[in-house]
Chain A
């Protein structure tokens, strides 16, 4: 097969697949601007004029959309920040110090890295119930401090970017261990911090299974739970514009993050060890 022909095939397939990746979301945002009447008449590639109307009906509908947006933002930001910070701290503890049990800890963490929290959900929910933390954000934020996958990424990154001689030099100058961590190690780890914070943010934002079991109060719900209610609520049946508006609103933060940080995200998937 000639090179030109292979190139034509490659470009055509890539363009078709790219189209299939983006089309749904383009149509979603277009549909969020159209009235229910327009929507029943099928697809359109041109935005309608009902953006403000749909926005207003979202604000006044029976679903707690705005408070869920706030809750989701709060949980995702704090969880991803704490996760990155403590993962770097743990990685540093393992990387820069020698102590008994260090190797064992490392091995256990890598060994249990892939086991998802979903499979121990009964124990997790019982525990949260016993601790009187139902309808609280704590069980959705604090457990993220111990994320083996992020820890693994951080220690791989540290091995390639943090020379121990730098730490030694600071020690000779009389810097305290805490000062070294906060003022020398953390700034050096800033790129890894950012990448993992983004990934954790998205993961936490998308989380549905566990939050749905812990948050029952309407004012405490997160965005994916509201999306699931969209399907069960009967009132929404007669306004499709509203449904598309809520869905579009729920993915907006991810879309904005991606528009600005796609390069960082793409490079973060494969750098510093392999990540699933």
Chain B
């Protein structure tokens, strides 16, 4: 066998599996999105070809915008504290002059929540913040409130809990990525600025931040892609209803609902829209990866 043939041999399983389980589903989603196909009661309607009608129906209905807004709000509520915390921690960890001890311990602890099943974490919070749960009992014992606060009946407390959980699960990971970027900055740059009389805030904003901008962008885009997929936490926390009053219903929960009601036409259209959005965001990540490759 010729040597170049071996190359094909080694990548063949990957290509075959990729085509069947990743490329083909994209084509099928696109194809099925062009057909009327839904269920009323026990009767399945369709499939009839209808062109882009599913897309028109989806985009002219105001629900999709509400769910997009919900997803966006909860993503921002979680991402802002996440990025601030990560920047501060990474700056502390990489600052030799500050000389913090136990960095490895702190890194280990803050990464830990990332490994926990999101479904279990959400379930745990549901129990803790239930009306008769331990958090309410604690707050009443301390005399802060007189009667249980219904965390899951209030739009903003539910959203905040979802955001808080996402932040807790992801800020450790972000810290480690930003830290790697900051440790890659040559010490001489910072030292030169310090000799010129810059204080640590100036060094951080004028030297460190601009130099880690590519990694910041990378973190942001990958987190945005993760945000679009937000599902496990709000789904479990609200038993799939997105309550109160559908204010925590995310786009993926909406897709999940249509899938379970066997509304395949609309599901296909929604799938394709989400695919398009993530593909565009991926292009930014792609550009980032190649830029860092050129630098090496």
Contacts and interface: CB of A to CB of B under 8 A. Distances in A.
Interface in B122-181: 123-128, 132, 134, 137-138, 141, 168, 172-173, 176-177, 179-180
A265 interface: yes
A115 B282 contact: yes
Contact of B232 (A96, A116, A224, A255): A224
B115 A258 contact: yes
Interface stretch (B64-72, B189-197, B203-211, B273-281): B273-281
Contacts of A251: 116-117, 120
A235 interface: no
A111 B292 CA distance: 15
B10 A90 contact: yes
B259 A276 contact: no
Q: Tell me which of B112, B222, B256 has the highest count of chain A C-beta atoms within 10 A of its own C-beta.
A: B112
Contacts of B39: none
A230 B264 CA distance: 28
B17 interface: yes
B37 to A, nearest CB: 10
A228 B85 CA distance: 30
A270 B228 CA distance: 24
A96 B282 contact: no
A25 B17 CA distance: 38
Interface in B185-233: 200, 215, 218-219, 221-222, 225-226, 228-229, 231-232
Given A119-B271, A240-B127, A97 B6 contact: yes
B22 A206 contact: no
A96 B7 contact: yes
Contacts of A97: 3-4, 6-7, 10
Nearest to B281: A114
A7 interface: yes
Contacts of A94: 7, 11
Determine the interface band of chain B, counting residues with CB < 8 A from chain A.
Answer: 35 or more
A99 B264 CA distance: 41
A172 B261 CA distance: 62
Interface string A19-60: 011101101100100000001111100000000000000000
B223 to A, nearest CB: 8
Contacts of A181: 10
Given A111-B283, A121-B271, A143-B17, A270 B177 contact: yes
A120 B271 contact: yes
A196 B129 CA distance: 35
B64 to A, nearest CB: 15
Contacts of B58: none
Contacts of A24: 121, 124-125, 128
A126 B28 contact: yes
A227 B124 CA distance: 10
Given A10-B98, A42-B138, A118 B268 contact: no
B126 A231 contact: yes
Interface string B87-128: 011001000011110001011111111011111110111111
A123 B126 CA distance: 33
Interface in A124-141: 124-127, 139
A122 B134 contact: no
A110 B106 contact: no
Contact of A228 (B97, B235, B275): B235
B26 interface: yes
Contacts of A31: 134
A152 B15 CA distance: 14
B123 A105 contact: no
7 shortest interchain CB distances as A-B pairs: A97-B7, A93-B10, A123-B25, A123-B28, A276-B222, A42-B137, A123-B29
Interface of B: 1, 3-11, 13-15, 17-18, 20-22, 24-30, 32-33, 85, 88-89, 92, 97-100, 104, 106-113, 115-121, 123-128, 132, 134, 137-138, 141, 168, 172-173, 176-177, 179-180, 200, 215, 218-219, 221-222, 225-226, 228-229, 231-232, 235-236, 239, 252, 255-256, 259, 264, 267-268, 271, 274-275, 278-279, 281-283, 285-286, 289-290, 292
Interface of A: 3, 6-7, 10-11, 13-14, 17-18, 20-22, 24-25, 27-28, 31, 39-43, 86-87, 89-90, 92-94, 96-100, 102, 105, 110-127, 139, 142-143, 145-146, 151-152, 177, 181, 202, 205-206, 208-209, 213, 223-224, 227-228, 230-232, 240, 243-244, 247, 250-251, 254-255, 257-258, 262-263, 265-266, 269-270, 273-274, 276
